[in-house]
Amino acid sequence: MRFSKLFGKTLRQAPAGAESISHRLLLRSGMIAQIAAGIYSYLPLGWRVLRKIESIIREEIDKAGGQELMLPVLQPFELWQQSGRDVSFGQSLFTLTDRKEHKLVLGPTHEEVITELAHRYVQSYRDLPLLLYQIQTKFRDEPRPRGGLLRVREFIMKDLYSFDVDEAGLDESYEKMSQTYKNIYARLGLPALIVEADSGAIGGKESHEFMVITETGEDEVIYCSNCGYAANAEKAQSAKARIEDVIASRSPEQSEGAAKQFLPLEEIATPRCKTIEEVASFLGVSTNQTFKAVFYSADGEFVFVVIRGDLEVNETKLRNTLKCSELRLATEGEVSEAGIVAGFASPIGIKDVKIVADDSITLGANFIAGANKAGYHFKNANYPRDFQVDLIGDIALAHPGDNCPKCGSMLSSARGIEVGHIFKLGTFISEKMEAFFLDQEGVSKPIVMGSDGIGLGRLLAAIVEQSHDDKGIIWPLSIAPYQVYLCPLYLDNTEVAPLAENVYQELGKTGVEVLFDDRDESPGIKFNDADLLGIPLRLTLSPRTLKSQSIEVKWRAKKETQLWPLENVAAEVNRLLRKKLASQGCAQFLM
């Protein structure tokens, strides 16, 4: 490709509003252009990168036995009503109405459509297992698009659906996809960390996300560098320390029976102490000796949440525990309407309110709790002696510094970009969509499904976030828009121009992808553009190199340059690139 003919311009300054590194660099290098919030065009360079990413994904999935197909973007709204996800997806669904006043959905994902297909074509256990996938545009009306390609409303995604006869089959498909994803990231030169993820309210027993650790990531990953435990903060657990009650510790001989340690409930005045910190410091205890009360509205129902004072509520876990879809903090009005004295509340004596507790309330004894009366708290509150709860489980947020749930070491946290998600769906959707098969005994069973996704644009952005310097992008060879940046200087020189042209032609013949900077620009502009575009290998030809009948060779990622003989340079470069690609497990050339 001749640079002079290339559509798209490099920009010296990034458009205002582009803040993340990938957004700035992709705009400046002319790879993408924004048309509206969260909606982008791919220009020729960016599109070449995307297509290379796509073909790597396709190759790896095909290798794992996936069959590619193409599902429609336009989907009948009824299909979504059937699965019930018209509600759970809610506002994020793009909907439209056709001329017959028929409601349609712009597909944000394709479980419904694919399961409808499975319903039609899968009748027997002999038809299973199946791995079906597509690479196609998805639409989600995100509340807030951000970060350039990192979070958008229209995006290209590889979505794969697995169909198995049972959980064991699902586990196998899941493991296969997990390995396939690892292969894909390896070929993309992207260090992706696999972490445990929340599987949402619609069931599904297991889910993992692949994260690229970087500052601009939207997700928080909690991990243990000792044993390798890693999870999305939404899902992460931590070992909650048992708090030995002060009094109990004075009488170790009683410690065998927890109930024996329970001291009588006692009301104490705590004037003006509304927060946990105020109460704890007023009474001279640490926050982990207290109960904290937090109030939510879950699908419209008022919920009283109790958790130990040193911990915080993880709303994702709470949502899953409650099996609700809409969850928000209750308003002051709703709290007082429920007859609760904010700041002095506890479940003790509270009636007709749904109470959810974190299991931390059992890890200790004789806590401080609200007396449900302004200005007073209880001493020696104990569960279940003093109150009952409707639900109890782990609903606490894990923090860096907490202990690892697996090995007890200290947990750390980092920010990450989610570049892939594998998900054991189970039978939730197949039951709703009536995708059943007959097993060997002739018994009708729902197909056990999995669903795995990779957002290609986000992947591209994550690679830039992860591989750049202050000059620009540094593309891995496997996905660079071009492999070689041929950079002749002084094109008006009678020797340089024809030799450069010749090298360009020869490289092309060997199948090397070349961006030929045939523009009459100064060296500074050419070098800076080469760096900005991030083409892996730069070949510079100038009167200076011609003095020794040579050409300068430089890797984008490295500082040093070397001079190669001009003779046979095309064959040598071709050999070098193929060797490098092969060492990365990728011998694919995009012609």
Partner RNA sequence: CGGGGUGUGGCGCAGUGGCUAGCGCGCAUGGUUUGGGACCAUGAGGUCGGAGGUUCGAAUCCUCUCACCCCGACCA
Confirm or reject binding of residue 558 to RNA (CB under 7 A).
Answer: no
Helices 456-466 & 44-63 angle (0-180, nearest 10): 110
**Collapsing DSSP states into helix, strand and coil, what is residue 274?**
coil
- Stretch in the footprint of RNA (CB under 7 A) among 284-292, 370-378, 386-394, 541-549: 541-549
Q: Report the residue from 24, 151, 240, 379 that binds RNA according to the rule CB under 7 A.
A: 151
- Stretch in the footprint of RNA (CB under 7 A) among 56-64, 72-80, 139-147, 574-582: 139-147
- Stretch in the footprint of RNA (CB under 7 A) among 199-207, 409-417, 474-482, 509-517: 199-207
Confirm or reject binding of residue 146 to RNA (CB under 7 A).
Answer: yes
Q: Looking at this protein, which amino acid is placed at residue 511?
A: G
Of 278, 269, 308, 275, the residue nearest 292 (C-alpha): 308
Query: At closest approach, how far in Å is the CB of 126 from RNA?
Result: 28
- Stretch in the footprint of RNA (CB under 7 A) among 201-209, 379-387, 438-446, 458-466: 201-209
Interface residues for RNA in 86-115 (CB under 7 A)? Answer: 88-89, 92, 108-109, 111
Contact characters 275-304, RNA, x per CB under 7 A: ------------------------------
Please tell me the distance from the alpha carbon of residue 192 to that of residue 582, in angstroms, as a whole number: 21
Q: What's the CA dihedral at 149, 155, 157, 163 to 10 degrees? A: 130
Q: What's the CA dihedral at 277, 283, 285, 289 to 10 degrees? A: -80
Which residue, 68 or 142, has its beta carbon nearer to RNA? 142
Q: Report the residue from 3, 25, 34, 292 that binds RNA according to the rule CB under 7 A.
A: 34
Q: Report the residue from 11, 407, 410, 582 that binds RNA according to the rule CB under 7 A.
A: 11
Confirm or reject binding of residue 532 to RNA (CB under 7 A).
Answer: yes
Query: At closest approach, how far in Å is the CB of 480 from RNA?
Result: 17
Which residue, 225 or 561, has its beta carbon nearer to RNA? 561
Please tell me the distance from the alpha carbon of residue 370 to that of residue 363, in angstroms, as a whole number: 18
Q: Report the residue from 98, 175, 218, 299 that binds RNA according to the rule CB under 7 A.
A: 218
Q: How many chain residues touch RNA (CB under 7 A)?
A: 68
Confirm or reject binding of residue 565 to RNA (CB under 7 A).
Answer: no
Please tell me the distance from the alpha carbon of residue 553 to that of residue 569, in angstroms, as a whole number: 10
**427: its two tokens:** 């039978």
Which residue, 18 or 355, has its beta carbon nearer to RNA? 18
User: 217 with 416: CB under 8 angstroms?
Assistant: yes
Q: Report the residue from 139, 378, 516, 527 that binds RNA according to the rule CB under 7 A.
A: 527
**495: its two tokens:** 């020797």
Please tell me the distance from the alpha carbon of residue 456 to that of residue 454, in angstroms, as a whole number: 6
Please tell me the distance from the alpha carbon of residue 143 to that of residue 223, in angstroms, as a whole number: 29
Of 466, 585, 590, 454, the residue nearest 534 (C-alpha): 466
Confirm or reject binding of residue 181 to RNA (CB under 7 A).
Answer: no
Query: At closest approach, how far in Å is the CB of 379 from RNA?
Result: 34
Which residue, 80 or 262, has its beta carbon nearer to RNA? 80
Please tell me the distance from the alpha carbon of residue 473 to that of residue 470, in angstroms, as a whole number: 8
Contact characters 43-82, RNA, x per CB under 7 A: ----------------------------------------
User: 151 with 178: CB under 8 angstroms?
Assistant: no
Contact characters 423-462, RNA, x per CB under 7 A: x---------------------------x-x---------
CA atoms within 13 A on the CB side of 244: 9
Count of residues for the chain? 591
DSSP state of 309: T
Which residue, 372 or 451, has its beta carbon nearer to RNA? 451
Which residue, 341 or 503, has its beta carbon nearer to RNA? 503
Alpha carbon 226 to its chain's center: 23
| Residue in the structure block whose two tokens are 């009459």 | 520
**584: its two tokens:** 């990365």
Which residue, 377 or 421, has its beta carbon nearer to RNA? 421
Confirm or reject binding of residue 374 to RNA (CB under 7 A).
Answer: no
Confirm or reject binding of residue 36 to RNA (CB under 7 A).
Answer: yes
| Residue in the structure block whose two tokens are 């007709």 | 352
Confirm or reject binding of residue 14 to RNA (CB under 7 A).
Answer: yes
Contact characters 482-501, RNA, x per CB under 7 A: -------xx-x---------
Confirm or reject binding of residue 552 to RNA (CB under 7 A).
Answer: yes
Confirm or reject binding of residue 421 to RNA (CB under 7 A).
Answer: yes
Confirm or reject binding of residue 201 to RNA (CB under 7 A).
Answer: yes
Please tell me the distance from the alpha carbon of residue 567 to that of residue 569, in angstroms, as a whole number: 5
Confirm or reject binding of residue 465 to RNA (CB under 7 A).
Answer: no
Sheet holding 266-269, edge to edge: 266-269, 376-381, 367-373
Which residue, 253 or 560, has its beta carbon nearer to RNA? 560
Query: At closest approach, how far in Å is the CB of 35 from RNA?
Result: 8
> Read out DSSP for 329-357?
EPPHHHHHHTT--TTS--STT--SSEEEE
Full 3-state SS string of 107-161: CCCCHHHHHHHHHHHCCEHHHCCEEEEEEEEEECCCCCCECHHHECCEEEEEEEE
246 CB neighbour count, 10 Å cutoff: 13
Please tell me the distance from the alpha carbon of residue 481 to that of residue 479, in angstroms, as a whole number: 6
Please tell me the distance from the alpha carbon of residue 383 to that of residue 131, in angstroms, as a whole number: 49
| Residue in the structure block whose two tokens are 């609760």 | 340
Q: Report the residue from 30, 46, 129, 145 that binds RNA according to the rule CB under 7 A.
A: 145
Which residue, 85 or 176, has its beta carbon nearer to RNA? 85
Which residue, 89 or 302, has its beta carbon nearer to RNA? 89
Chain residues binding RNA by CB under 7 A are: 9-17, 19-20, 23, 34, 36-38, 85, 88-89, 92, 108-109, 111, 140, 142-147, 151, 159, 200-202, 204, 218, 315, 325, 327-328, 421, 423, 451, 453, 471, 489-490, 492, 520-525, 527-532, 540, 542, 544-545, 552, 554, 561
